[in-house]
Amino acid sequence: MHILVNGLSARLGGGQTYLLNLLRRVPQDAGWKVFLLCPDSLDLADLPDNVERVERDLKLDNPFRRAIWEYFNLGQLASRLETDLLFCPGGLLPPGPLPKGLKVAVTFQNMLPFDRVQRKRYPLGYRRLRDWLLQRGLSSAMRKADLVIFISRFAQKFIQETLGQLAGRSVVIPHGVDAKFFPCAEKPLPCPTEAPSGEYFLYVSFIDHYKSQIEVVRAFAQVRQISKTQAKLFLVGAENPLYGAALRREIEALKLGEAVTVTGNLAHHDLPALYQHAWINLFASCTENCPNILLEMMASGRPALVSERGPMPEFGGQTVLYFDPEHVAQLVERWLSLLFDQEQGNRLAEAALERVSAMVWEKTASMTWGAMAEVVRAGS
């Protein structure tokens, strides 16, 4: 079983987390070999011996240059490596010709290009054009693929209603949660030095229009005034520059400069302690597929305030407190509810921890590689 993984688009946290957790759990059965195309930023430590990186010096950071290389070279590479299946975890197929008989699998991970309401929140320009093109590229890939891996039932239902019946097989395989995100009573993690001093509320996510950080800051201003809490709000994540600037203007207008900290990306290994020391974790996204951040929050043992938009209820069930991310007053109400009823928060946190404990990467990886193997065997 020879599989070529096109991971050239895995340049951000979520995409890299997904890909690495699959690669670290490639089956060790005789005959299994995985060839990997990836950017230099991917941490390739601890990969099994039957995973081999190929074409190391491509320098394809520019998406248009990457597309040109894929058009002329990816099919030839698949032939040279005697590949049985091409796996594209980013969801896009190469634009050029592929060898006859080569099976193709894609993962659908990006819901934003299909959410027209959220797309309109961006100004006209490159980002709007990119998402418009992505919608068409992802749709074409799913129609052509022999296997489409969905990471939530919500996404599968949406795509089936939007695109109709797909030609290939489709499966739902949610993400797993790394064991390091679960608290250990015997060895509690110390609070990271990056965290604010004293108590804090935490929101980890890319800072962008559809993540609703501005609405969270507005709600925090009211919660702070009503409850008289001295806890701070800690916003962690890389950012869309235009939205980041608007967020900072809002913080200044609300006179929250000392109470709100906006930081960039933090190392992934620092996040478990951040989640576990937060008073409340928040996730206010308007559109998602299967958010790693939500699952990691649920594993922390701390109460969570979570957007009610799909697919969040699919994963959170009755173990988190939901709110409409575009309804500031509702978020204020739910936030105060958790602040004033700590027993409720503790009860929800325990239930969330139990619910997510079965979602492990070992299961996700086994199902993913197994689905690919079935597609190859069915076509042989």
- Residue 241 backbone class (left: φ over 0; alpha: ψ -120 to 50; beta: rest): alpha
Instruction: Tell me the C-alpha distance between 201 and 221, whole Å.
Output: 12
pLDDT tens track for 217-230: 999 999 999 999 99
pLDDT tens track for 267-290: 888 999 999 999 999 999 999 999
Whether the CA torsion 353, 359, 361, 363 is positive or negative: it is positive
Instruction: Tell me the C-alpha distance between 229 and 251, whole Å.
Output: 17
- The reported pLDDT for the residue numbered 138 is 96
Confidence of residue 380 (pLDDT cuts 50, 70, 90): low
Reading the block at residue 92, the tokens are 């896009």
Confidence of residue 296 (pLDDT cuts 50, 70, 90): very high
Instruction: Tell me the C-alpha distance between 244 and 252, whole Å.
Output: 12
- What burial class does residue 205 get, using C-beta atoms within 10 Å of its C-beta: 0-12 exposed, 13-18 middle, 19+ buried? buried
Compute the average pLDDT of residues 35-46: 89
Instruction: Tell me the C-alpha distance between 324 and 334, whole Å.
Output: 10
Q: For the chain, give the percent of residues with pLDDT over 70.
A: 99
Q: Which residue has the tokens 């939901």?
A: 322
Query: How does the average pLDDT of the chain come out, rounded?
Result: 94
Residue 13 has pLDDT above 90, yes or no: no
* pTM (2 d.p.): 0.93
User: Which one, of 285, 341, 342, lies nearest residue 316 by Cα?
Assistant: 285
Q: Which residue has the tokens 């302690």?
A: 273
For residue 108, CA distances in Å to 87, 117, 134, 156, 170 come to 12, 19, 12, 9, 10
Instruction: Tell me the C-alpha distance between 282 and 238, whole Å.
Output: 16
User: Which one, of 153, 157, 174, 155, lies nearest residue 165 by Cα?
Assistant: 157
Instruction: Tell me the C-alpha distance between 338 and 327, whole Å.
Output: 17
- The reported pLDDT for the residue numbered 87 is 98
φ, ψ dihedrals at 275, nearest 5° = -60, -45
**Pair type for strands 103-108 and 280-283:** unpaired
- Across 17-90, where does the E strand assignment appear? 33-37, 51-53, 85-88
- The reported pLDDT for the residue numbered 268 is 86
Instruction: Tell me the C-alpha distance between 321 and 348, whole Å.
Output: 8
**How many CB atoms sit inside 10 A of residue 17's CB?**
18
Residue 11 has pLDDT above 80, yes or no: no
Reading the block at residue 294, the tokens are 């939500």
Residue 291 has pLDDT above 80, yes or no: yes
Question: What 8-state DSSP symbol labels residue 317?
Answer: T
Confidence of residue 122 (pLDDT cuts 50, 70, 90): confident
Reading the block at residue 269, the tokens are 């290994």
pLDDT tens track for 210-262: 999 999 999 999 999 999 999 999 999 999 999 999 999 999 999 999 999 99
- The reported pLDDT for the residue numbered 56 is 84
Domains of the chain and CATH, by start: 2-175+360-379 (3.40.50.2000), 179-356 (3.40.50.2000)
For residue 100, CA distances in Å to 88, 89, 104, 298 come to 17, 21, 11, 45
- The reported pLDDT for the residue numbered 161 is 95
| Contacts (Cβ under 8 Å, ≥6 apart) of 149 | 105, 106, 107, 108, 170, 171, 173, 368, 371
Reading the block at residue 374, the tokens are 């079935």
Reading the block at residue 271, the tokens are 């996040």
Q: For the chain, give the percent of residues with pLDDT over 90.
A: 79
Which of 58-67, 87-96, 244-253, 279-288 has the least mean pLDDT? Answer: 58-67
pLDDT tens track for 297-339: 999 999 999 999 999 999 999 999 999 999 999 999 999 999 9
Residue 30 has pLDDT above 90, yes or no: no
Instruction: Tell me the C-alpha distance between 54 and 4, whole Å.
Output: 9
Residue 123 has pLDDT above 90, yes or no: no
pLDDT tens track for 163-205: 998 999 999 999 999 999 999 988 999 998 999 999 999 999 9
Q: Which residue has the tokens 């004033």?
A: 340
- The reported pLDDT for the residue numbered 19 is 94
| Contacts (Cβ under 8 Å, ≥6 apart) of 81 | 2, 4, 35, 54
- Across 126-264, where does the E strand assignment appear? 147-150, 169-172, 200-204, 232-236, 260-263
Confidence of residue 43 (pLDDT cuts 50, 70, 90): confident
Reading the block at residue 185, the tokens are 């009573």
